[in-house]
Structure 1
Amino acid sequence: MFHWLEKHPFLFSVGVFVVIAFAGLIEILPNFVQASRPVVGAAPYSTLELAGRHVYIKNSCNACHSQLIRPFKAETDRYGHYSLSGEYAYDRPFLWGSKRTGPDLMRVGNYRTTDWHEHHMKNPEEVVPGSIMPGYAWMFDNKADIDTAYAEQVTVNKVFAVPYNKAVPTRDGGTVTVKLGTSLADAKAMALEEAKVIAADMKDPKVKAAVEAGQIPEIVALIAYLNSLK
Structure 2
Amino acid sequence: MLRLHYNLEKLSMALVATIILAASVGGLVEIAPLFTIADTVKMPADLRPYTPLELAGREIFIREGCYACHSQMIRSLGDELDRYGPYSLAAESAYDHPMLWGSKRTGPDLARVGGKYSDAWHVAHLTEPRDVVPASIMPAYPWLLRPLDTGQLSAMLATLARLGVPYDKAMIANAERDALAQSRPDSDGAEAVQLRYGKRVVLRAFDGNPAELTEMDALVAYLQALGTLTQVAYGTQRGDPS
Q: 2:37 maps to which residue?
A: 31
User: Which has the higher mean CA deviation after the structures are superposed, 80-89 or 186-195?
Assistant: 186-195
CA contact (8 A) 2:206 2:216 kept: no
**Distance of 2:206 and 2:118 partners within structure 1:** 9
- Which residue, 159, 164, 178 being the options, matches 1:161? 164
The verdict on how the C-alpha distance between 1:127 and 1:163 changes in structure 2, with shifts beyond 3 A counting, is same
Aligned-pair CA distance for 1:114:
1.1
- Give the whole-Å Cα distance in 2 for the aligned partners of 1:153 and 1:99: 29
Match in the other structure for 1:150: 154
| Residue among 89, 111, 128 paired with 1:106 | 111
Q: TM-score, normalised by structure 2?
A: 0.67
TM-score, normalising length: structure 1: 0.70
> For the aligned residues, what is the CA RMSD?
2.5
Q: Is the 8 A contact 2:158 2:172 kept in 1?
A: no
Give the conservation status (yes or no) of the 8 Å contact 2:54–2:219: yes
Pick which of 103-112 and 189-198 moved more. Answer: 189-198
Kept in 2: contact 1:124–1:131 (CA 8 A): yes
2:221 to 201, 221, 224: 224
2:195 equivalent to 1:192? no
Across the two proteins, how many residue pairs are aligned to each other? Answer: 182
Instruction: Tell me the alpha carbon deviations over residues 115-149 of structure 1, each in whole angstroms, 9 at most, x when there is no partner.
Output: 111111111111112101111100012x2232223
Cα 1:180–1:131 change in 2 (3 A) is farther
Alpha-carbon distance in 2 for matches of 1:41, 1:124: 34
Paired with 2:104 and 2:150, the residues of 1 have a C-alpha distance of: 29
- Cα 1:193–1:163 shift into 2, 3 Å: same
5 Å matches for 1:19-168?
A: 28=33, 31-35=37-41, 37-40=42-45, 42-141=47-146, 143-157=147-161, 159-164=162-167
- Tell me whether 1:181 sits opposite 2:171 in the alignment: yes
Deviation at 1:106? 0.3
> Structure 1: any 5+ residue segments left out of the alignment?
1-19, 166-178
CA distance change for structure 1 residues 182 and 84 in 2, over 3 Å: closer, same or farther?
A: closer
